[in-house]
Amino acid sequence: MNNNENTLTRGIGSFFFFAIPAVLAGAALMWLAFYTGVIDWQKTQRVEGRMDNRVGVNGQLTMPVDLVIGNRSCLKIDRAFLDGDSVTMYLDNQCHTRLDYYEWHWKAVSPDGTTIKENYENTLDGIDDGEKLEKTMSLPDDNRIVKIIVWARNHN
Kindly state the average pLDDT of the residues 106-115.
90
Kindly state the average pLDDT of the residues 149-154.
90
Q: Is 36 exposed, middle or buried (0-12, 13-18, 19+ CB in 10 A)?
A: exposed
Check if the beta carbon of residue 127 is closer than 8 Å to that of residue 153: no
Query: How do the domains of the chain map onto residue ranges?
Result: 1-54, 66-154
Cβ neighbours of residue 89 closer than 8 Å, sequence gap 6 or more: 77, 79, 80, 104, 134, 135, 136, 137, 150, 152
**Side-by-side strand order, sheet with 102-109:** 66-69, 147-154, 102-109, 115-123
> 12-16, 56-60, 75-79: which has the minimum mean pLDDT?
56-60
Question: Looking at the whole model, is its pTM more than 0.75?
Answer: no
Query: What's 66-154's CATH class?
Result: mainly beta
